[in-house]
Amino acid sequence: MMSGGASTSILTIALLIALNLLLLSLLIGLIRAWLGPSVEDRFSAILLMGTGGVAMLLILAILLQVTALYDVALVLALLAVVGTVALTQSERNHD
């Protein structure tokens, strides 16, 4: 299953645990996006999603030895900031 992965098995297990804890962190952020009383609270949850996604992609790239995932992380970071800027600026015109 992990063929071609990270070299030692302790490192692989540690990286898998790290990935699961990052998923837990994103899940807590999703709860805030669900509860969030104002739109800005949901925006701040989106910010956490973007950064957590970048961190997960960095760890996945080293775990699976797929270097293309660094580019995916770069694009995700760019899209997160563009999305946030578009959301915060576009809501202004509607009210």
Partner 1 sequence: MTDTLAILAIFSGLFFFLSGSIGLLRLPDLFSRLHALAKADNVGLALIALGVIILEPVLINDIKIVFIWLLVMAASAISSHLVARRALRENRKHG
Binding site for partner 1 (CB under 8 A): 6, 8, 10-11, 14-15, 18, 21-22, 24-26, 28-29, 31-32, 38, 40-41, 43-45, 47-48, 50-52, 54-55, 58-59, 61-62, 67, 70-71, 73-74, 77-78, 80-81, 84-85, 88-89, 91-92
Selection from 78, 47, 60, 76 nearest residue 19 by Cα: 60
CA dist., res. 4 & res. 35, Å (int): 41
Structure token digits, residue 95: 């009210």
Our CB check for partner 1 shows the closer of 1 and 68 to be 68
